[in-house]
């Protein structure tokens, strides 16, 4: 008891003690997480096994794995998956090629390098919806600048079922290449200059130097960029939704949105969302495993 007073004085001098940090920061965060993340996650897991519809008052009936088996055997859903896979592949590959290429160009002395880098980063900072709307104008077959500058006449980008997905992917590449560029640039500038000098003296060619020195050293950070972009591309909704309403651009996120909020098949769409979640986690795990392997070497 006699010690209690000096102790209180000490803790006041030290600032917040562990207990008040717990009460002020940790508990609210946990509560927030439970209410907005954990509960919806668990609730949607439950609804994915029911025929629940959020638009009616009808009680949810337990249907077991019926939703899952329906989705996994439905050829239309599989088409959505195929479209998404194609989209992810085109879009992420494009972003890595363009982004890494830009980074290689920027990773040397040039005038106005800082300004150029900043300007190149702008697309990434725009809103998806805005980008979608003005690329719609750029793609316009009648007055769009893309057809005009490429001399394509009245070429249909978004109305053409075969081109629409490419058009969306190109827009995504335009918007997100800077992200890959930024990470690659960080990786490239961390490669010690003396290694290049040693390679030059050792008479290594440009390609040999690139594949033996540059790429192995940048690989881990490039891998991180690819993980992020793949996860994002999987979830793409707004860009594709605004740009095109073709069935050939119906990505899983759009299908999911329609299923959940236009058709109100809440239970079924929850199951769908879980399938997508498992897939994204699975793909990410493959990447992370590879990333660790790259880092170990």
Binding site for another protein (CB under 8 A): 192, 194-195, 197-205, 208, 212-213, 216-217, 297
Could you tell me which residues come within 8 angstroms of residue 70 by beta carbon, excluding any fewer than 6 positions away?
268
Q: How far is CA 105 from CA 98, 116, 132, 179, in A?
A: 11, 11, 28, 15
Shortest reach from residue 291's CB to another protein, in Å:
14
Count H helices, E strands: the chain?
Answer: 16, 0
| CA pair distance 161, 156, nearest whole angstrom | 9
3-state SS class at 62: strand
Q: Phi first, then psi: give them for residue 50, nearest 5 degrees.
A: -125, 175
Could you tell me which residues come within 8 angstroms of residue 178 by beta carbon, excluding any fewer than 6 positions away?
99, 102, 120, 121, 122, 123, 124
Q: Which is nearer to another protein, 19 or 297 (CB)?
A: 297
Q: Which is nearer to another protein, 28 or 192 (CB)?
A: 192
Could you tell me which residues come within 8 angstroms of residue 264 by beta carbon, excluding any fewer than 6 positions away?
53, 54, 55, 56
Shortest reach from residue 204's CB to another protein, in Å:
6
- Both tokens assigned to 168: 């969306």
Shortest reach from residue 219's CB to another protein, in Å:
9
- Both tokens assigned to 184: 């690659």
Q: Which is nearer to another protein, 154 or 297 (CB)?
A: 297
Shortest reach from residue 180's CB to another protein, in Å:
22
Q: Which is nearer to another protein, 171 or 214 (CB)?
A: 214
Shortest reach from residue 293's CB to another protein, in Å:
11
Shortest reach from residue 112's CB to another protein, in Å:
20
Q: Which is nearer to another protein, 75 or 296 (CB)?
A: 296
- Both tokens assigned to 22: 């717990």
Q: Do 13 and 236 meet the contact criterion of CB atoms below 8 Å apart?
A: no
Shortest reach from residue 66's CB to another protein, in Å:
51
Q: Which is nearer to another protein, 108 or 194 (CB)?
A: 194
Shortest reach from residue 295's CB to another protein, in Å:
10
| CA pair distance 255, 71, nearest whole angstrom | 12
Q: Which is nearer to another protein, 197 or 263 (CB)?
A: 197
Q: Do 29 and 230 meet the contact criterion of CB atoms below 8 Å apart?
A: no
Q: Which is nearer to another protein, 212 or 258 (CB)?
A: 212
| CA pair distance 235, 237, nearest whole angstrom | 6
């Amino acid at each position: 008891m006699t010690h209690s007073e000096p102790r209180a004085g000490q803790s006041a001098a030290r600032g917040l003690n562990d207990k008040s940090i717990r009460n002020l920061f940790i508990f609210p965060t946990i509560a927030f997480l439970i209410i907005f993340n954990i509960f919806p996650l668990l609730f949607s897991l439950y609804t994915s096994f029911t025929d629940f519809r959020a638009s009616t008052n009808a009680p949810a009936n337990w249907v077991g794995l019926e939703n899952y088996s329906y989705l996994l055997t439905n050829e239309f859903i599989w088409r959505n998956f195929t479209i998404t896979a194609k989209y992810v592949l085109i879009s992420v590959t494009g972003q890595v090629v363009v982004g890494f290429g830009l980074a290689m160009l920027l990773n040397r002395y040039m005038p106005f390098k800082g300004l150029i880098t900043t300007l190149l980063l702008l697309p990434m900072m725009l809103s998806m919806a805005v980008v979608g709307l003005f690329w719609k104008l750029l793609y316009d077959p009648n007055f769009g600048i893309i057809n005009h500058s490429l001399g394509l006449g009245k070429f249909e980008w978004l109305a053409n079922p075969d081109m629409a997905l490419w058009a969306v992917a190109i827009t995504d590449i335009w918007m997100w290449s800077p992200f890959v560029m930024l990470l690659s640039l960080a990786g490239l500038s961390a490669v010690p200059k003396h290694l290049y000098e040693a390679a030059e003296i050792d008479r290594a060619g440009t390609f040999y130097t690139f594949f033996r020195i540059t790429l192995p050293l940048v690989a881990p950070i490039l891998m991180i960029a690819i993980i992020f972009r793949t996860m994002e591309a999987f979830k793409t909704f707004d860009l594709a939704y605004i740009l095109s309403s073709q069935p050939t651009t119906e990505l899983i996120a759009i299908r999911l949105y329609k299923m959940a909020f236009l058709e109100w098949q809440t239970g079924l769409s929850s199951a769908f969302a879980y399938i997508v979640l498992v897939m994204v986690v699975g793909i990410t795990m493959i990447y992370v495993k590879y990333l660790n392997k790259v880092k170990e070497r």
